[in-house]
């Protein structure tokens, strides 16, 4: 198995005449995978290699210059297209900005606007390692140093001890505060219940005396 390269489909060229499908070609742009991950996202970096590859139906690929449509000095045989992957433009590094553009409805420009990202270049991307699709194949194809787990804290025991000490200080105070709030709530509920019971006790006999003073209806 030869080297694995990352590419993006640029064009699919098919002859106009029928029966010539075997002469169709796929033009793909070659991207280099960086030796180190992005410092902010810890994901592989893809940069444009300024080289385009043409895949023929015979599963062969010609390497040509990105700016000059000429056949290069070397020729590679592609064994297979392995898998697809997701990559997102590195807008932080490129300092991409938002801009307001009109909204199109049925190909007509409306007065409504929407915010979109205006990319400043098309040369640097981040390989999305959080994507679930083909994640195992991506990790198999990439070098181990780009996919190995990275410890958030070098000394985990020290961090655990620090958090435990903080909890020992804040835990009793939070429990006491919670207990005081519970007692206050119970006291309020008890007072409200006693007040409601008192109203019922006061109004009951008065209603009976008032009813007793009325003459019976014959």
Classify residue 142: in a domain, yes or no: yes
Joined together, the tokens standing for residue 186 give 């119970």
Question: What are phi and psi for residue 127, nearest 5 degrees?
Answer: -75, 120
Classify residue 13: in a domain, yes or no: yes
Beta bridge partners of 101: 114
Tens digit of each residue's pLDDT (9 = 90 or more) over 35-77? 999 999 999 999 998 888 777 755 444 444 333 333 443 444 4
Classify residue 209: in a domain, yes or no: no
Task: State whether 96 and 160 are in the same domain.
Answer: no
How many residues in total does the chain contain? 218
Task: State whether 91 and 7 are in the same domain.
Answer: yes
* Per-residue pLDDT in tens (0 to 9) along the chain, 218 residues: 567 888 888 888 888 887 776 777 788 888 999 999 999 999 999 999 888 877 775 544 444 433 333 344 344 445 567 888 999 999 999 999 999 999 999 889 999 999 999 999 989 999 999 988 888 999 999 999 999 888 888 888 898 998 888 888 887 888 888 888 998 898 888 888 888 887 666 555 555 445 545 555 44
Q: Which domain holds residue 197?
A: 151-201
Give the number of other Cβ atoms within 10 Å of residue 5's Cβ: 19
The model carries a pTM of: 0.61
């Amino acid at each position: 198995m030869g080297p694995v390269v990352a590419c993006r489909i640029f064009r699919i060229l098919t002859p106009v005449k029928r029966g010539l499908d075997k002469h169709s070609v796929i033009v793909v742009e070659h991207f280099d995978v960086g030796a180190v991950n992005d410092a902010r996202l810890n994901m592989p970096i893809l940069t444009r290699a300024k080289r385009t590859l043409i895949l023929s139906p015979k599963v062969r690929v010609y390497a040509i210059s990105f700016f000059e449509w000429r056949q290069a000095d070397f020729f590679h045989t592609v064994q297979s297209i392995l898998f697809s992957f997701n990559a997102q433009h590195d807008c932080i590094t490129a300092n991409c900005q938002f801009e307001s553009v009109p909204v199109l409805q049925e190909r007509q420009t409306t007065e409504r606007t929407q915010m979109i990202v205006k990319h400043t270049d098309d040369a640097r991307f981040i390989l999305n390692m959080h994507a679930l699709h083909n994640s195992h194949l991506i990790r198999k194809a990439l070098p181990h140093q780009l996919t190995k787990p990275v410890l958030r804290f070098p000394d985990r025991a020290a961090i655990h001890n620090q958090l435990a000490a903080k909890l020992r200080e804040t835990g009793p105070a939070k429990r006491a505060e919670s207990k005081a709030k519970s007692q206050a709530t119970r006291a309020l509920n008890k007072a409200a219940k006693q007040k409601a019971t008192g109203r019922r006790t006061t109004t009951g006999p008065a209603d009976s005396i008032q009813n007793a003073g009325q003459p019976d209806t014959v």
